[in-house]
Structures are given as C-alpha cells and as structure tokens.
Structure 1
Amino acid sequence: MPRSGFYGSLSSPKVDVVIDMGNPFLNRTVDGFLKIGAVGACKVVAEETFECLNRGNVSKHKLEHALKKMCKEGAYWGTVAGVYVGLEYGVERIRGRSDWKNAMIGGALTGALFSAATNNHRDKVVKDAITGGAVATAVEFINYLT
C-alpha cells in the first residue's frame, strides 16, 4: 500500500535586542527583564483576548484594564527574571564555574527573596526557595538535553 508523509522543520526567526549597559552583569539582568517581561505581557494579551471573545464585547474600560494588567504582569515577571539572571551570573562569577549549580543557587535565592518580600512565614520562604532552585535546575537540564 502506498504511503505518503510530510517532512520538514519549523523554525521561528530569532529577534535579539541588545542593550549595552557597560557591564556584563547589568547587560544580562536587563536582557532577562525585557525578554520575560514581554512574555508576561503577551500572556495577559492572550488571556484578555480570550475573555473578550468569550463574552462577546469589548469596551474602552476593558482595554484600559488589560493595558494596566499587561504592564503590571510584565514588570513583575521581568523583575523576577532580572533578579534570577543577575544572581545566577553573580554566583557563576563567585564560583568561577559555569554549571547547573549556578542555576540551582540563583533560583533558590530568587525564590527566597521574592517570597520574603511578600510574606513573613519562614516555612513559605523555604518552600519557595526549594521550588525556585528546582525549577531553575530543571530548566538548565532541559536546555542541556536540547
């Protein structure tokens, strides 16, 4: 029996914005802030578009609300990413090695820092530090495999 198939690959263009702050630490931190902040803003656009389509109406008030939410989410996630990237780079410089342990330490410090800034429950801070370290380490290993 004859068979047919489709073979190919899909790739997207890579857009890289480079802002030279004159310091590698600042360059990486700003880069992380901008990239992940844009992802956070796009997430809000997708959610708000779905809501408008689901309800069937759009108003000026809803658009203003969506814009404010985009800015807030983008700034929050951009800040988290910037802090993580900066801490990971700092750990790399202190340790003198580039490996998965930098991601683990940077993720744990970021998780603890943001948790401590939003609550004062020690158990929650420790859990968030463990979660941050685990997620960052998992991402590092996945990047290594691909």
Structure 2
Amino acid sequence: MPSSRFTGSVTTPTVALSIDTGSPLLDHTLDGFLKIAGVAATRSLGEDAYHAARKGKLSGSDLEKSLKKMCKEGAYWGTVAGVYVGMEYGVERVRGRRDWKNAMLGGMATGALMSAATNKGTDKVVTDAITGGAIATAAKFLNYLV
C-alpha cells in the first residue's frame, strides 16, 4: 500500500532589540510594551485586511481608520503588557524570588491599575485585579508545562 510522509521544520523569525535605559525595571517595561504593541498592531492590520478583502475594495478612509485602530490597539495592549512586565519584575526584586507568585501579584496589580485608570468603580477594580492575577498565574503554569 503506498504511503507518503511529510517532514520538515518550522522556525519563527526573531527580532533582536536591545533596550538599555540604565534601569532594569524600565528596560523590562519598555521591552514588554514594544513586543505586545507590535503584536496588537499586526493583529489589527490583519483583521482590517481581511475585512477589506471581503468587501472587495479599499478606500483612503479605510486606510486612515485602519492606521488609527492599529495605533490605538498597539498603545492599549502595549501599555497593559508593559505595566504587567514591570510589576512582575518589581515584585520579583522586592521578594527576592522568581516563582509563580510574582506573576500572580504582578497580574493583580496590573488588573487593578488598568481598571482604576478607567474609573470603573471599586468593585470592578477588585474583580479586574482577581482576573489579572488568575490569567497571569495560569499563563505561568502553562509555561511550566510546555
């Protein structure tokens, strides 16, 4: 019986960017911001390209809206990531340990800060802190498994 097999490898592109502000906390924060801002902007661009392809046309107005959306998404998600990375690094430095608790505390602080910045009220700040801590902790545990 005939059979076929596919073999190969997939490699991801790497971008080397070194940030040195003289402060490790600021370096980590900026690195997190730039990485996730780029991902968010690219996701937004892909989404808008898909919608333009479905419509079958692209106008100057569509391009302007897409660029504004890319900047807005990149800035928002980059800020969230930067705050989280900075918080996690700060907690690690204060505690003197590198474990999942840093992710949990960093996620909680990030959730609370981002929620408080949008003036959603005390209950929402608490629930967003819990959500941020849970997501960060789950992500850290998943990283340990992989």
TM-score, normalized by length of structure 2?
0.94
Cα drift, residue 19 of structure 1: 1.5
Give the SS at the match of 1:57.
Answer: coil
Q: CA deviation at 1:3?
A: 3.9
Answer with 60-69 or 7-16: which moved more. Answer: 7-16
Aligned to 1:14: 14
Distance in structure 2 (CA, Å) of the matches to 1:39 and 1:54: 23
Mapping 1:1-146, distance limit 5 Å: 1-146=1-146
Unaligned runs of at least 5 residues, structure 1: none
Q: How many residues align?
A: 146
Task: Read off the aligned partner of 1:124 and give its amino acid letter.
Answer: K
Q: Percent identity?
A: 62
Amino acid corresponding to residue 143 of structure 1 in structure 2: N
**Larger displacement relative to structure 2 (6-15 or 34-43):** 6-15
1:56, distance to aligned residue in structure 2 (A): 1.1
Aligned CA RMSD, in angstroms, stands at: 1.2
Query: Per-residue deviation at 1:10?
Result: 1.4
User: CA separation in 2, counterparts of 1:136 and 1:126?
Assistant: 15
Q: Distance in 1 between matches of 2:106 and 2:4?
A: 49
- Separation in 2, partners of 1:100, 1:3: 46
Q: Aligned partners of 1:105 and 1:83: how far apart in 2?
A: 12
Amino acid at match of 1:102: N
Specify every segment of 5 or more residues in structure 2 that has no aligned partner in the other structure, as ranges.
Answer: none
